[in-house]
Structure 1
Amino acid sequence: MHTVVPGDKNTVPDGLIVEEAQNRGVGVFSPDLFFDHLVNNYRMAEQLYGEKLLRLITGYSGAYLERNLRLPEFKKVLKQQLTDNIQKLEDTGMLDKDGKITAEGFSIGALAVVLEELNMPAGTGLQETHKGKTAGKIGERDDTRTYHRGDTYRDINVRKTISQLIKHGKTAITPQDLIISTRKHTGTVNIIYALDSSASMKGTKLHACRRAGIALAYRALQRKDKVGIIIFGERVKDAVAPTTDFSILAEKMMHMTATRQTNFVDMIQHASELLTNQTGQKHVLILSDALPTSGTDPKEDAKRVIANAHSQGITFSLIGVKLNTEGLDLARHLVELGGGKLYQVNDAGEVKGMVLEEYERITSNAHL
């Protein structure tokens, strides 16, 4: 996988400005607006824009800004710095004349994220620490392991199960005694990353979820699998059918911003449509921090459509970010109906690891 990197040495930091603006829901870059917010109340400005975006757009750390904003001479320098930096983004085509991010800006932002992830130590960014064998629910029998909930009876290795029972002198069989044959992966895995972009999914959460999606796409495409994306809030805002085009996936994730409600039904139905004509394993990984809120009976509607999609051969897993008790209860029902797995995440920094763990699970059929 090769990418042409623009020659400007500032491409990466400039691209990260775009990413962080999307994380914070900043739609327009105005030097006057940034300056007024900073001078009037730094703490409020930091809550609005985040320390990282302020550092990238001004060139100063949060501590330095807060310490010097009362000085008249620094205010003058700061205003000029903001004007010059935002003008530079316009001159390079990343912003239009109204200060809005352009298509080129989103492309550079996506590239910057990928480059930063590639430069991280192995195992923390896009680089894998190791490559295990791939297996799936289709193909010839390969290896064996103990039974896990969700395994199909056709994969029980009767001979080895009986052999183990005799060896241990058992006369009764329990699920824990079953030996399962894994299967060599001989077909494509189609995985859709369905990302909740409701209002609470902003800042560090949105940043972590975007990075996780890009890491998933990079790893899966290296292994010749296909990845699709659904970005949903009160409705499906953007969607890409399973593809091997990494640039499309990365750029779509760069466009993601937080909205209001959470509509699971629309997302699940859309995912089913995108997977209908795909061959191989079909899986949807939902990432959300809230209950479905859109519709007359959103919880029951979500259960109904996910059960229907599962009956058509699509499996569903869910990563819940700081879900409350009611949310966890519903999430358990949804993954049970969808034949998948539930992950609970309390720290946004754990999201990428969980996303990649789920990808490994569905491609290897190893239920972790």
Structure 2
Amino acid sequence: MSAAETWLELADEDPFGVHNLPYCAFGQDRFRWPGVRIGDRILNLAAAEGRDLIDAGGAFLGQATLNRFMSAGPPVWRRVREGLTELFTTPRHREAVEPLLLAVGDVRLDLPFEVADYVDFYSSQEHATNLGRLFRPGGEPLLPNWKHLPVGYHGRAGTVVVSGTDVPRPHGQRKSPDDPVPTFGPSARLDIEAEVGFVVGVPLQAPVPIDDFRAHVFGAVLVNDWSARDLQAWEYQPLGPFLGKSFRTSISPWLVPLDALDAARAPAPPQDPAVLPYLRAADHYGYDIELEVFWNGTLVSRPPFAGLYWTPAQQLAHLTVNGAWTRTGDLYASGTVSGPTPDQTGSFIERTWNGTHPLQLADGTPRTFLLDGDTVTITATAPGPSGTRVGFGEVTGTITKPE
């Protein structure tokens, strides 16, 4: 369905038309509600359900986030999506709906859901190969386990923040190869990781079978997994990322439902060697999501999500196969999205090859890692039905001086 088929005045190419309908949590003053975006406006879902315009089984009433709605499951998700489509495409609903619409620019955008747990994966073969060459020069870029399982780490849910939140430069231990002992101070090699995150709606106290991905995952957000490379390089062996990652993770305010991404499904890369049975899906697919990374307004990279070696379904299956429970609001991210060329890399350590090949920004300055005052914005779109594009909005953050 095109934007032109709605009673709202939307351009045909609007990435937030009826084909998308991403969810959010928004506020004014001390009040906060769940919402859905259409064009450049947000429908107050609590008010819409309170007036019997949609039926979510009470999932929006009295709620400040999307968690209760996400936990309701696919039948309710589909019913609400169909109801919203009806509201926005049938002119007779205009009089009832229009008073409940607010301009995006007039509200505060908050975290769309309460984050239960956070896991970050390492699923791009190009990214893992690049970092292997940088961190372990002379050795095999990929560790022996990499093509047998989706490698990941358990992050910190309490430091996941919404787009627009400042990112204070983290402190920690650093040790270069020439230093006799480590030193302590603010990170001097602060970086980004451009990722896509998936959000669990329906919880399960058992492993999630790989073919049940759509029964449990509600939708997707953009993620910037800020990374202090000097802290990470010193501490990551043998237990992996810790202070180099846990200080901030930024996500976009718009939660795009999986149902909006059906046209973006794409065959995932073939896997060799063959994976174990619990990682074999009946339909081995990923999503054709095109990311863009801007550094102080300069477009520096276009990472392609479709090339990820491990799929979101495989990530969830592996995350839970040991018996780990899932909860509503669990966020798991893809890991850095990188393609085969430098202008497709999703981190600055790759884009500048560990600082040895500086980037020149639009203002003429050569740059390697992030300086105080720098702003990074990641955007993305995906194919929608009938030639439309599905917008993810953006995730942005500005580096501030150490706290």
TM-score (norm. length: structure 2): 0.28
- Richer in helix (by share): 1
- Richer in strand (by share): 2
| Bigger relative contact order (CA 8 A; separation at least 6) | 2
